[in-house]
């Protein structure tokens, strides 16, 4: 049972109608690298969700009637402020999600900035289509109109990056949003609300900065995939090692695009499963203790199904501080030449890699 949060732990607030609003109930959010309580987030219910939807619906009237050029100007201002605070956001993302600071600094936060700039710069130039039908002396054309309030949900592996990937196109097209980041990684979403508020100090800005707060009512879903790499006898193995280590284990392997299966031609299979001798480690902590236990459970299942571990837990030891030993997991790889693993029918088992011969 988790210890009670100390009174000094920071409490996030919901962001509704351009204002930060406290919640009547909170839950703990843990720092993956230490397992300690980092902050508390609102345990929002139907009242908070209804309030957010009502505020977003009200703001939609003004925001959707605004010219796309003015909406683009606002998003570009958000991007500028976010870029100015890049280091602060990178450190926050690392502490909240578990990834290395360098990765958040070079990938997550810059891509969030680019999301706002890309949609603000390109969307205003997407024109409608028209066609003249001379036979009937008519003109057919298309128009694009805002839909209303968008319900968004974002995962915990790339928290700010994927949240902005959904918010930016929704806003530039004239919609307002009620967004629900993961309950395990809500810190940068909260900080983004502050950026919205800073960028929208006018009445217009307050109207559009609606709801990127930690709601727990799911509004949309994102599904992952099981991605394969194929190695043939004429490949450059040293180049393949470098590429596969990155594609398999970047961001602790917690990316839907990460390589999770490797098919190796038989003539080079025995060579491939040798030690790639990568000198530098770039892994952070897995996002949460429950996810760590899930990974361990499926590794155990793989062994029961006849797999052979080549690296990772039970084979390698991590040289870590005592406080980190429960939340880090070594890169894991196992092989099997025939059959299938139940674990690889799942789309949410990250940080593991399976290779086959063919």
Q: What is the pLDDT of residue 95?
A: 92
Q: What is the pLDDT of residue 112?
A: 97
Please, what are the domains in the chain? 10-212 (3.40.605.10), 227-357 (3.40.309.10)
Do 213 and 42 contact (CB within 8 A), yes or no? Answer: yes
- Sign of the torsion formed by the C-alpha atoms of 317, 322, 326 and 328: negative
Cα–Cα distance between 247 and 77 in angstroms, integer?
33
With tokens 């290779």, the residue in question is 355
- Of 295, 309, 287, 310, the C-alpha closest to 241 is 310
Tell me the sheet residues that pair with 352: 332
Instruction: Establish whether 222 is a catalytic residue.
Output: yes
Q: Which helix (H) or strand (E) holds 3?
A: none
Q: What is the pLDDT of residue 278?
A: 33
Regions of the chain short of the pLDDT cut 70: 1-7, 201-226, 252-253, 269-284, 310-358
Tell me the H-state helices in 226-325: 237-249, 266-272, 289-304
Q: What is the pLDDT of residue 320?
A: 63
Catalytic residue of the set 132, 222, 278, 323: 222
3-state helix, strand, coil in the chain (%, to 5): 45, 20, 40
* Burial (CB count within 10 angstroms: exposed 0-12, middle 13-18, buried 19+), residue 8: exposed
Phi, psi of 303 (to 5 degrees): -65, -40
Do 199 and 71 contact (CB within 8 A), yes or no? Answer: no
Cα–Cα distance between 358 and 347 in angstroms, integer?
23
């Amino acid at each position: 049972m988790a210890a009670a949060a100390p009174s000094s732990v920071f409490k996030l607030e919901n962001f509704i109608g351009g204002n930060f609003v406290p919640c009547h109930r909170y839950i703990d959010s843990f720092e993956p690298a230490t397992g300690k309580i980092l902050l508390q987030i609102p345990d929002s219910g139907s009242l908070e969700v209804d309030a957010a939807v009502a505020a977003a619906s009200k703001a939609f009237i003004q925001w959707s009637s605004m010219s796309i050029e003015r909406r683009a100007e606002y998003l570009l201002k958000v991007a500028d402020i976010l870029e100015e605070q890049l280091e602060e956001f990178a450190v926050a993302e690392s502490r909240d999600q578990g990834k290395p600071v360098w990765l958040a600094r070079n990938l997550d936060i810059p891509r969030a900035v680019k999301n706002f700039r890309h949609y603000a710069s390109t969307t205003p130039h997407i024109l409608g289509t028209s066609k003249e039908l001379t036979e009937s002396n008519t003109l057919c054309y298309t128009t694009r109109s805002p839909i209303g309030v968008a319900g968004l949900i974002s995962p915990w592996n790339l928290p700010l990056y994927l949240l902005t990937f959904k918010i930016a196109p929704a806003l530039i097209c004239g919609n307002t949003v009620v967004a629900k980041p993961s309950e395990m990684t809500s810190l940068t979403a909260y900080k983004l609300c502050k950026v919205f508020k800073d960028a929208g100090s006018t009445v217009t800005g307050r109207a559009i900065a609606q709801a990127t707060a930690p709601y727990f009512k799911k509004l949309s879903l994102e599904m992952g995939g099981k991605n394969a790499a194929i190695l043939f006898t004429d490949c450059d193995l040293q180049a393949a090692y470098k590429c596969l280590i990155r594609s398999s284990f970047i961001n602790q392997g917690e990316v839907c695009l990460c390589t999770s299966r490797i098919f190796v031609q038989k003539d080079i299979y025995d060579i491939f499963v040798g030690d790639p001798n990568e000198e530098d480690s770039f892994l952070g902590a897995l996002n949460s203790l429950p996810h760590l236990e899930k990974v361990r459970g499926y590794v155990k299942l793989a062994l029961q199904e006849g797999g052979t571990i080549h690296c990772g837990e039970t084979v390698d030891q991590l040289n870590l501080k005592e406080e980190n030993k429960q939340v880090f997991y070594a890169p894991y790889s196992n092989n099997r030449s025939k059959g299938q693993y139940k674990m690889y029918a799942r789309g949410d088992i990250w940080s593991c890699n399976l290779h086959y011969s063919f």
